[in-house]
Amino acid sequence: MQGLAWDSAGRLWATEFGPEVDDELNLIEPGADYGWPDVTGAPHDSRFVDAQVVWPSTASSSPSGMAIVDDVAYIGGLRGQRLWQVPLVAGTAGEPVSHFDGSYGRLRDVVAGSDGSLLVATNEPGNARILRVRTG
């Protein structure tokens, strides 16, 4: 796991690296089995809980830190070098949209600012910085 955040209904969400494929966004349920290390992603196997979002290629994702603002998950992408925006509606994740693809390098963490903006930490050697990003 890389990032943890709570939505407005008190549900816990987690970002997770896959081994080489199938990075995930999961809705965490007490006592649930998400399959690691036997399976990754959404195998549709009744023994495991499927990930809500699966990025098949770690080249576009490698999800790291996450913040949830107004029931939208904002997820930093390390290898993917982008900020993912994923709407969360009643415990279900919608279609991810990417922003800043490659513009700021590796995005390590995302934190909700007190004004509703996001603080995004980059992870570039010799050029790490904090970006303020407005939401909505």
Residue 44 has pLDDT above 90, yes or no: yes
The CA distance from 45 to 82, in Å, is 31
Q: pLDDT band at residue 125, thresholds of 50, 70 and 90? A: confident
Which stretch of 38-42, 50-54, 129-133 has the lowest confidence by average pLDDT? 38-42
Report pLDDT for 48: 97
Stretch 50-54: mean pLDDT: 97
Contact 107, 76 (CB under 8 A): yes
The overall pTM is greater than 0.85: yes
* 110 closest CA partner among 86, 88, 91, 126: 86
The CATH number of the domain where 14 resides is what?
A: 2.120.10.30
pLDDT > 90 fraction of the chain, expressed in percent and rounded: 85
**Which of helix, strand or coil describes residue 52?**
coil
Residue 136 has pLDDT above 90, yes or no: no
Q: Domain tally for the chain?
A: 1
Domain of residue 40 covers 3-133
